[in-house]
Structure 1
Amino acid sequence: MKVNMGSADRIIRAIAGLVLLALVFIGPQTPWGWVGIVPLATALIGNCPAYSILGIKTCKTK
């Protein structure tokens, strides 16, 4: 898998994923917080499948 996400995109996704996961354990304790696994996983991997389909690339080319 090629990296198609830049560092700013990865940081934003990681923060959003952690905030959503916090909803499961802290706050309203809603099961919708488990959706936060998706942005967190894509941030850790550095590849977004939707970006690949749409041909979007936010990382700097080398």
Structure 2
Amino acid sequence: MTQNVGGIDRILRVVVGLVLIGLAATDNIGVWGYIGVVPLLTGLFRYCPAYSIFGCKTGGGSCGTGCGTGCKTDCK
């Protein structure tokens, strides 16, 4: 499982996940807020299955940034 979630993306995922879970726990948005577990976990593990399907990778490194960089075989 190669990491495909970069720094800013990771921070945003963790923050959004925690906010959604917090709102759900306080009954502000209902049980749907617990969907925040998904961005929280993808941020913590730095891996997004959807990014893998579409060939995306955020962050720096030798492969550049963003989706469609065409460098799947060059990344290690």
When normalised by structure 2's length, the TM-score is 0.75
* Match of residue 6 from structure 1: 6
Structure 1 stretches of 4+ moved >6 Å: none
Percentage identity across paired residues of the two chains = 47
Q: CA deviation at 1:59?
A: 2.4
2:54 corresponding residue in structure 1: 54
- Runs of at least 5 residues in structure 1 that lack an aligned partner in the other structure: none
Tell me, in whole angstroms, the C-alpha distance in 2 between the residues paired with 1:29 and 1:61: 38
- 1:7-51 per-residue CA deviation (whole Å, 9 max, x = no partner) reads 100000000000100112225251011100000000000000000
Larger RCO, structure (CA 8 Å, separation 6 or more): 1
Aligned residues: 62
State the match for 1:30 in structure 2.
30
What's the RMSD between the two structures over aligned residues? 1.3
**Which TM-score applies when normalising by structure 1?**
0.90
Name the structure with the higher strand share: 2
Structure 2: runs of 5+ lacking an equivalent:
63-76
Hey, what's the Cα distance between the residues in 2 that align with 1:14 and 1:29?
Answer: 18
